[in-house]
Structures are given as structure tokens and as C-alpha cells.
Amino acid sequence: MRTITVGQFVSLDGVVEAPEKWHMSYVDEEMMTAMWSEPADTMLLGRVTYETFAGAFAHLTDDDPLGARMNQPEKLVVSRSLSSLAWRNSRLLPAGDVAERVAELKAAPGGPISVVGSISVVRLLLRAGLVDRLSLFVHPLVVGGGQRLFEDEGPRVQLTLEKCDVFRSGVTHHRYAVG
């Protein structure tokens, strides 16, 4: 069975929305190494994250290390509004119940699945009990507003800390097993 790991940039007050507005000044070699230490052959993305990533990475070539890491994995996109995808190795998740489709994907042969950003998809997967691991990069700042990782009335999620690293930037990387 394939595993699903959710990766998120999080502020101390739990905000995950619009990290491009508050996260970039914390990016360093330590964070990049930790981000790429968890392999995935498939990325599961919501529409907004897909469009943001496609705009930023689709033009990169495979001889660029970032381009290779972002362009080579299969990208499955959850969307009700997109009908076609231009970014290489991208396809729409088949229509139907998203949790059911992801459960089928998880049961199929293949390697690890990564979900980055895509907060509505993450919340749906948490409610359905389909997430195996959370990889949270907690930033030492309070954003003050925006969508948070966990819903106010969401499900109780039991986590077991597997690893916690502290970076020179003050960011901490928490890796939790879910369940």
C-alpha cells in the first residue's frame, strides 16, 4: 500500500495559507535538504496549488535540480473547474468522490504520494483517515490571519512524533505519523 505524506509550511498560529507572503525569508539549505529527504513519485495537488506550481516550475528543465524534482513526479490534480492540464506528467484525478479515488490510488501499486499546500484536499484526506504522515515546517512567526491547517470543527487526529529538527533559521521540522 502506498503512503500519503502531507507537507506544509505553518506559522506558530497554525496558518498555512499564502506561505509565499511569509515563508520565503526562512528558506535555507537545511530546509531544502529536509524538504527533499522524503521521496515521492506522485504529487496530489488541489487546483490552486497546481496552477501556482505549474507557473513556477513547468518551464524549468530536468538539468535544473529543482526542475527535475518538480517536473518528473506524476501530478494528480483535484479540480472541478479544470478540463485540461499543460504541465508535464499531470492529469486530473478521475471524477467522483475524491476520498474514494484517493483510497483507490493509495491501494494501487506505486511509491509514496506527497500532498503539498492544497489545504482543502488535506482537510478532506484527514477527515477520511487517508493521511499517513505530516511533515510540518513550523515558522517562528505569527501571521495573524488566514486558513489554518486543522479545521475548527474537524476530526480528532492522533499523532505520534517521529522526528523533530531545529534549523538555524528558527524553523522547526516536525514529522508525525498519523493514527
CATH of residue 73: 3.40.430.10
Q: What is the pTM of this model?
A: 0.92
Domain containing residue 154: 4-178
Residue range 70-92: mean pLDDT, rounded: 92
Q: In the predicted model, what is the mean pLDDT of the chain?
A: 93
The count of structural domains within the chain is: 1
Confidence of residue 69 (pLDDT cuts 50, 70, 90): confident
Give the per-residue pLDDT at 37.
83
pLDDT at 94 over 90: no
Residue range 167-176: mean pLDDT, rounded: 97
Confidence of residue 10 (pLDDT cuts 50, 70, 90): very high
- Apex 116 CA angle, 51 and 11, nearest 5: 110
Distance CA(172)–CA(159), nearest Å, equals 17
